[in-house]
Amino acid sequence: MQCDLYDISGKISGKVSLPQEIFGLEVKPQILAQSIRVYLSNQRQKGAAKTKSRGDVVGSTRKIYKQKGTGRARHGDKKAPIFVGGGKAHGPTGLQNYKLKMSKKMRSLAVRSTLSQKLKEKNIVVVEGMGKMTTKSKGMIELLFHLKMTDKKKKLMQTVLLIMPEKTDKVLLAARNINKLEYIYASRLNAYKLITARKIVLMKESIDLIKKAFGKNND
């Protein structure tokens, strides 16, 4: 597979080959949905909510009235869940664990499927030479403007994800203060980050690392 290759001035400088096994798959919505569910669930804090049971409520344990002869239902103390100020029945205990697991093979398939979908929608742009950019945000904004990812005021209209091969200081400094521009390393890609980005800027050097990390040989 081939697509246009852009330089840091935003002009087409040639063609680049993309691995078919990564960018040419049939999209699998079920795998994407499961991957996103697992990712979001794993972002939740463990046991962030907790309610008081009747054993946690402070109060007397005295029986509120005698067992028989009143014509009313039998009751113990006033900490029962049916009373105002009583404990909560079956509420969160603070011990809930929302962590979910997904096999490496399925995670890899979800990433490949998402990249294939984004390429099919023409929402992936491959750029070379970004390591030579200055540390100023202005250079990154100019590049995004020429790639038609900003409005006339050179502000990003929707989220753009920059896929980097590794920590590149100049690129990080140029990208970190731009609103709606996110970045991620190629070896740490996940389907959620990819699918929630409107456009993807893929550094040419990242292609081999993506193939190495998510190719079929690594399933």
- Find the CATH number of the domain harbouring 188: 3.40.1370.10
57, pLDDT greater than 70: yes
Per-residue confidence (pLDDT) for residue 81, from 0 to 100: 95
Model confidence band, residue 128 (pLDDT cutoffs 50, 70, 90): very high
C-beta separation of 47 from 168 below 8 A: no
Mean pLDDT of all residues in 56-64: 93
Mean pLDDT of all residues in 130-140: 89
Tell whether 90 and 144 lie within a shared domain.
Answer: no
Tell whether 60 and 122 lie within a shared domain.
Answer: no
Tell whether 151 and 204 lie within a shared domain.
Answer: yes
Per-residue confidence (pLDDT) for residue 215, from 0 to 100: 83
Tell whether 166 and 135 lie within a shared domain.
Answer: yes
Per-residue confidence (pLDDT) for residue 43, from 0 to 100: 92
218, pLDDT greater than 90: no
Per-residue confidence (pLDDT) for residue 54, from 0 to 100: 93
Tell whether 27 and 53 lie within a shared domain.
Answer: no
Which of 67, 82, 97 is at the close of a domain?
A: 97
152, pLDDT greater than 90: no
The whole-model pTM stands at 0.81
Which of 34, 66, 97 is at the close of a domain?
A: 97
Tell whether 111 and 167 lie within a shared domain.
Answer: yes
Tell whether 124 and 19 lie within a shared domain.
Answer: yes
Tell whether 33 and 131 lie within a shared domain.
Answer: yes
- Helix/strand/coil (H/E/C) assignment for every residue in the chain: CEEEEECCCCCEEEEEECCHHHHCCCCCHHHHHHHHHHHHHHCCCCCCCECCCCCCCCCCCCCCCCCCCCCCCCCCCCCCCCCCCCCCCCCCECCCCCCCCCCHHHHHHHHHHHHHHHHHCCCEEEECCHHHCCCCHHHHHHHHHHCCCECCCCCECCCEEEEECCCCHHHHHHHCCCCCEEEEEHHHCCHHHHHHCCEEEEECCHHHHHHHHHCHHHC
d(CA 161, CA 124): 10
To the nearest whole percent, how much of the chain has pLDDT over 70? Answer: 99
Residue 137's identity, in one-letter code, is: S
Q: How many domains does the chain have?
A: 2
Tell whether 65 and 155 lie within a shared domain.
Answer: no
Tell whether 193 and 144 lie within a shared domain.
Answer: yes
Mean pLDDT of all residues in 149-156: 88
Q: What is the pLDDT of residues 183-203, one digit of tens each?
A: 999 999 999 999 999 999 999
Tell whether 18 and 29 lie within a shared domain.
Answer: yes
The residue segments making up the domain with residue 166 are 2-44+100-218
Which of 55, 71, 97 is at the close of a domain?
A: 97
Tell whether 55 and 118 lie within a shared domain.
Answer: no
Per-residue confidence (pLDDT) for residue 219, from 0 to 100: 61
Q: What is the pLDDT of residues 44-56, one digit of tens each?
A: 888 888 999 999 9
